[in-house]
């Protein structure tokens, strides 16, 4: 007769809390950004274009840390929503922010900063830095583990 294993307790696992927290944060930020016509998926592209100017699709893939097919769909939606465009003088397939997007980027930053301030209430700057460092290590440890 086999010994019965202990009941599964998902709350004991890091993946549960990362997933749970990530979904809650994404929902919160998406809801707050919606009134600006921006989704969280757009943020890495918007910020990269705002900070570095016109960029290629390849550069945006690296900035957003997504796969090429995902970026193709994302750029199509952002173009449809009037947030990015290809410069009239096509220079190697570059994308740039539209005037509308430039007005919304600063607002989006404010929304994200206020949200972060709310969710880290009671956490010191040192604890926050430690949490970020630990999550970066976990993320690095997952590289190449897809299969």
Go through the domains of the chain in sequence order and give each one's CATH number. 18-142 (1.10.10.10)
Structure tokens at 126: 């040192």
Instruction: Give the whole-angstrom CA distance, residue 126 versus residue 81.
Output: 39
Band (pLDDT 50/70/90 cuts) for residue 5 is confident
Of 112, 44, 106, the C-alpha closest to 78 is 44
Of 85, 120, 111, the C-alpha closest to 99 is 85
Predicted pLDDT at 92: 65
Predicted pLDDT at 6: 75
Instruction: Give the whole-angstrom CA distance, residue 69 versus residue 92.
Output: 19
Q: pLDDT by residue (tens digit) across 68-87?
A: 999 999 999 999 999 999 88
Predicted pLDDT at 7: 79
Structure tokens at 133: 């460092």
The 10 Å CB-count burial string (b at 16+, else e) for 106-140 is: eebeebbeebeeeeeeeeeeeeeeeeeeeeeeeee
Of 39, 86, 87, 101, the C-alpha closest to 64 is 39
Q: pLDDT by residue (tens digit) across 119-143?
A: 999 999 999 999 999 999 999 999 8
- Mean of pLDDT values over 88-99: 81
């Amino acid at each position: 007769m086999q010994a019965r294993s202990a009941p599964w307790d998902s709350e004991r696992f890091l993946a549960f809390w990362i997933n749970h927290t990530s979904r809650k944060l994404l929902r919160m930020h998406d809801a707050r950004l919606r009134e600006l016509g921006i989704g969280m998926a757009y943020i890495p592209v918007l910020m990269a274009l705002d900070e570095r100017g016109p960029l290629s699709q390849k550069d945006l893939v690296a900035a957003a840390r997504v796969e090429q097919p995902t970026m193709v769909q994302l750029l199509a939606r952002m173009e449809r929503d009037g947030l990015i465009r290809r410069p009239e003088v096509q220079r190697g397939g570059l994308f740039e922010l539209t005037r509308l997007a430039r007005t919304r980027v600063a607002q989006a930053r404010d929304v994200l900063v206020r949200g972060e301030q709310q969710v880290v209430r009671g956490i010191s700057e040192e604890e926050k830095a430690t949490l970020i460092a630990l999550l970066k290590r976990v993320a690095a440890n997952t590289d190449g583990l897809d299969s």
